[in-house]
Structure 1
Amino acid sequence: MEHKITEDEAALYDRQIRLWGLEAQHRMRNASILIAGMRALSNEVCKNIILAGVGSITLLEDEVVTEEDLGAQFLVRKEDVGRNRAEVAAENARHLNPRVKVVVDQDDIAQKPDSFFTGFNIVCLTGCDPGQMDRIDNICRGTKTGLYIAGVHGFFGYIFCDLTKHEYREETQETVTERGKEPETTITQRSQNYASLADTMEARWGYPKPKALKRKVSPLLFAIQALWLFQKAHNGRLPQSSNQGDLDAMLKFRDERLKSAQVDGAFVDDDLIKTLVATVSAEISPVCAIVGGFLAQDILKTLSGKDAPLLNYFLYNGTEGTGLVHHVQKTEA
């Protein structure tokens, strides 16, 4: 059932309505979002989109709160250890904005049928197994359901966006040279095609010079993709910092990905891979806040239909304090 914005809600979301317009706020108010995986990053995303006034949000998680979760997850408390993460997060998230419906789902994402994911406007996967990432991306592309995949590994974070084909409005204002004349706003309807996750893993750059390549893509992209290759080869698990064999495997997958991408092998140095492996299981609150804030804002932008969303990777390197957006797509040999 479609929910119409009340006068009270219009007053509550006044600033957002001034920014996006009433029609965009109406779309957000009727949107249904899935957040799969409850960790520090998804805590940030939930907070921001719930405060923005979306219609409903479903939290999908089958694991329980552990002592390690207490360091960065602000939606859980010490007394919640042993309880389901989604259940606990939902209890605290509802206090942020009682107008938003928060649903708890404690099932294993791997057991969910394809039809489950097509019942949402946006699907957001955090900390998900790469095999499931590919599977769910294919499902969402089949029904043009918006998909975001994100993760934080210590000092590093990433977001991948696949909206299949997204239509949005772009507003431009003319330059005013006459005193007293009001600028005219022109609204242009645009559309953008998105590559699948699998296609971005096959992108090639044709061996450009390192300086030219750095303007196109961050070395962190290949480090993250090497991590995904490692997980696929090891039943989804993350590399262990104490295991020299895991580090050697990560370096091997890095080399393989750089070769297939037609990128010089020196573009991603060993130190980046070593730092990623050393902190891969850590959740650092400031990194989660930065990546989660960017992710939530882009989800809202997609729902609003105003201006272009992320196309299609955001890569955050906390050791350098850089956050870069790159358009990665499959290229011919």
Structure 2
Amino acid sequence: MEHKITEDEAALYDRQIRLWGLEAQHRMRNASILVAGMRALSNEVCKNIVLAGVGSITILEHETVTEEDLGAQFFLRREDIGRNRGEAAAEMARLLNPRVNVIVDKEDIAQKPTSYFSQFNVVCLTGCSPEQTIRIDNACRETKTGFYAAGVHGFFGYMFCDLTHHEYREESKETSLDKSKEPETTTSHLSQDYDSLVSTLETSWGYPTPKALKRKVSPLFFAIQILWLFQLGNGGRLPHASSHDDLEALFKLRDERLKSAQVNGDFVGNDLLQTLVGTVSAEIAPVCAIVGGFLAQDILKTLSGKDAPLLNYFLYNGVEGTGLVHHVQKKST
């Protein structure tokens, strides 16, 4: 059932309505969002989405709270240890905005059929396995459901967006030489097409020079892929920084991956991989806040239909303090 914005809600969301308009707020108020995986990154996403006043958010999480979770997850308390992560986080999320319907699903995402994801306007996966991420992106493309995948590994974070085909509007103001006239607002209706996750991973780059390639994509783009390949070959586990064998395996995967992508072997250095592995399992709160804030903002932009969402990667390097947006296509340009 469609929910119309009440006078109380219009007053509550006044700043947002002034920013992106009543129609956009109405879209968000009737949107249904899935956030799969409840970790520090998704805490940030849920907080921002709930405060923005979406219709409903479903938290899909089958794992329980551990003591390690308390270090970066602000929705959790010590007494939540042993409880389902989603249930514990949902209680705190509801307090932020009681008008938002917060639903908890305690099943494992691996057991969900592809039809499950079509009921949502946007599906957001955080820290999901490579197999499930690819499976669910393909499922969302079939139903044109908005898809986001993101993760944080210590000082590094990534975000991928696939909206298949997205239409949006942009507003611009034209000023007149006559100072007595108010600027005229012009609305443009635009659209963007997106490549699937698989197709971006299969892009061949044609052996450009490292300098030319860095203008198109960050080395972190390949470092995350190498991490995924390691997980695929090791039952889903992450590499151990103290394991010489794990590092050697990563270096070998790096050489194979870059060769298949037609990228010079020195584009992803040993230092980057070693630094990534050094904190690969850590949830660093400031990094989660940056990536999670960017992710939530882009989801809201998609729902509102105003301005262009991410196309299609955001890569954050906390060591360098850089957050870069890259458009990776099926065929490199």
- TM-score using structure 2 length: 0.98
CA distance in 2, matches of 1:268, 1:176: 51
What SS class does the counterpart of residue 192 from structure 2 fall into? strand
Contact map agreement 2:61 2:107 (CA 8 A) in 1: yes
Which amino acid in 1 is paired with 2:102?
V
CA distance in 1, matches of 2:152, 2:178: 50
Residue 332 of structure 1: how far off its partner (Å): 7.2
Deviations 1:194-236 (A, max 9, x none): 0101001111222222222111111110100111111111222
CA distance in 1, matches of 2:280, 2:259: 24
Confirm whether residue 79 of structure 1 aligns to residue 60 of structure 2. no
CA distance in 2, matches of 1:280, 1:296: 23
Match of 2:103 in 1: 103
Further displaced range: 14-23 or 258-267 = 258-267
Contact map agreement 2:315 2:323 (CA 8 A) in 1: yes
Match of 1:118 in 2: 118
What SS class does the counterpart of residue 315 from structure 1 fall into? strand
Percent identical: 77
Deviations 1:153-177 (A, max 9, x none): 0000000000010111111222433
Match of 2:186 in 1: 186
What SS class does the counterpart of residue 170 from structure 1 fall into? strand
The answer for unaligned runs of 5 or more in structure 1 is none
The structure-2 alpha-carbon separation of the partners of 1:242 and 1:2, relative to structure 1 and needing over 3 Å to count, comes to same
CA distance in 2, matches of 1:166, 1:321: 30
CA distance in 2, matches of 1:215, 1:177: 39
CA distance in 2, matches of 1:280, 1:204: 27
Residue 80 of structure 1: how far off its partner (Å): 0.7
Contact map agreement 2:170 2:187 (CA 8 A) in 1: yes
Q: How many residues align?
A: 333
CA distance in 1, matches of 2:20, 2:28: 10
1:153-172 aligned at under 5 Å gives the runs: 153-172=153-172
Match of 1:250 in 2: 250
Deviations 1:47-82 (A, max 9, x none): 000000000000000000001101000000111111
Match of 2:26 in 1: 26
CA distance in 1, matches of 2:247, 2:142: 37
Which amino acid in 2 is paired with 1:281?
S
Contact map agreement 2:175 2:182 (CA 8 A) in 1: no
Residue 5 of structure 1: how far off its partner (Å): 0.2
Match of 1:4 in 2: 4
Contact map agreement 2:168 2:307 (CA 8 A) in 1: yes
CA distance in 2, matches of 1:142, 1:108: 22
- TM-score using structure 1 length: 0.98
CA distance in 1, matches of 2:188, 2:161: 23
Contact map agreement 2:238 2:281 (CA 8 A) in 1: yes
Which amino acid in 1 is paired with 2:103?
V
Match of 1:268 in 2: 268
Confirm whether residue 140 of structure 1 aligns to residue 140 of structure 2. yes
Confirm whether residue 90 of structure 1 aligns to residue 99 of structure 2. no
CA distance in 2, matches of 1:215, 1:79: 48
Which amino acid in 2 is paired with 1:22?
L
Match of 2:217 in 1: 217
